[in-house]
Structures are given as C-alpha cells and as structure tokens.
Amino acid sequence: MKLALLTALNAARAARQAAVLVTNMTSHAQRLVLGHEVAADALAEALDGALRSGKSGVIEHEGTSYFLNVQVPPVRLVVIGAVHISQALAPLAALTDFDMTVIDPRTAFASAGRFSGVKLLAQWPDEALPQIGGLDRYTAVVAVTHDPKIDDPGLVAALKAECFYIGALGSRKTHARRVERLTALGFTESQIARIHAPIGLDIGAVSPAEIAVSILGEIIRDLRKKPLRDGTHP
C-alpha cells in the first residue's frame, strides 16, 4: 500500500469515518473510497453492502475482481440513565460487541457497584458526551431516565449528530410532550420522527431484561438494515 493511501486510511480511522480500500486484483491498483463518496462510485452497490456488513471480501464487477478491505468505526451504545434496564443491557451489549457507555448525573444510580466493568460517567450529558468524543452516525443513543432534564440533552445531541439509532423510554403521552419540547428547540417533524418512542421492538416486553432485549433487537435491526454511510441519513 502506498504511503498516501495508508495515511488517508489512518486519518479516516482516527476520525471514525467509514472507508473501503479497493484493490483491483488484476492490475493491483488501489484506491480509497470514503463513506460519503460511495454513492458516486462505479462500485456503489457492492461498497454499500460491504459497509453495511462491515466485512471485507472479493467482489466481481464487469469481469474484473476487486478486493474490498472494509474499515468501519466500532459501533457504540450510549445509554442516558443508570437504571435497571441499563443494567440488563450491559451484558447483552458486551455479547454483541457494542461499546457501551452509561451516563447519569445521579450518583445514587451511577455507581460502579451497579455497573461493574461498564464505562460509567456520573455527569450530565452535556458534560459527559465531549469526554467520549461526542456522538456520530455509528452511535446508538438510548434515553431511559424518564427525566427530561437528563434525557433531553442526550436526545438533542443525538439528533444533531444523526446517530443511526435514537430511542427514548416512555408512553405515547410522555413522547408527545417530548415532541413539543424538541419542536420548541427548532427540530423538524422529520428529525423528531427518527426517535423510536415507545422504545424497542413490540414483543410484549414487561421486565427490565425483556425491555433490554427489545431495545437491543431494534438497534441491531436498524444497524443491519440501514446503510451507515458518512454524509447520508442511515
């Protein structure tokens, strides 16, 4: 690999940008395609599929073989609220390779004893999010405190960052009030509609563990069914 390509690939990795190194297996020519460039590329369909799966491999296009070396940022799960559902989510996130962080300023809830081995920030979202590098399109955000003072800043940040998944706990009545608050902050109807509320797949979940399963299932569905290209809505 040429030094310029390696430098560009490392820069994309540092910036949490998706990228595919395309190698022509006949000529051995190489080029780097960043996520936001995929749609205009001759191999757009194959590149899009590779980014969605996150898997490298060989593809055929018009009689030529190409090796696609895929680089996608690790998918993160940021949970606003150190509640029972969050505790149930933690082992599930670990099993499915999500890098999970829990944020909650309420120190009675956000304790190491309740979240052993989990990244935990006992701070307000506005203070905590910059410490984890902010949010991006490769981040899922789940707000579960039922307290607008804590949940809303996380949801606002998630909407602005166009996170691939945004979900919030609460009834339809609770969400209606949430919509009013977000509308007052200047968000459009289509932006607010990206929030999954009520949160989780409709599987009749009742207990915190069942709700956690429904939430993670919904996150995985969105992750696998929607392209995560930089510069586009997932």
pLDDT, average across residues 11-20: 88
Q: What are the tens digits of pLDDT across the range 42-96?
A: 999 999 888 877 889 999 999 999 999 999 888 999 999 999 999 999 999 999 9
pLDDT, average across residues 216-225: 91
Tokens of 189: 């109807």
Quick one: 76-225 is in which CATH superfamily? NAD(P)-binding Rossmann-like Domain (3.40.50.720)
- pTM of this prediction? 0.80
> For position 226, what pLDDT does the model report?
55
Residue 39 has pLDDT above 90, yes or no: no
Spatial CB neighbours of 85, under 8 Å, sequence gap ≥ 6: 144, 169, 208, 211, 212, 215
Residue 11 has pLDDT above 50, yes or no: yes
For the chain, the structural domain boundaries read: 3-71, 76-225
Separation between Cα atoms, residue 214 and residue 208, nearest integer Å = 10
Separation between Cα atoms, residue 102 and residue 121, nearest integer Å = 6
For β-strands 165-168 and 195-196, DSSP reports them as parallel
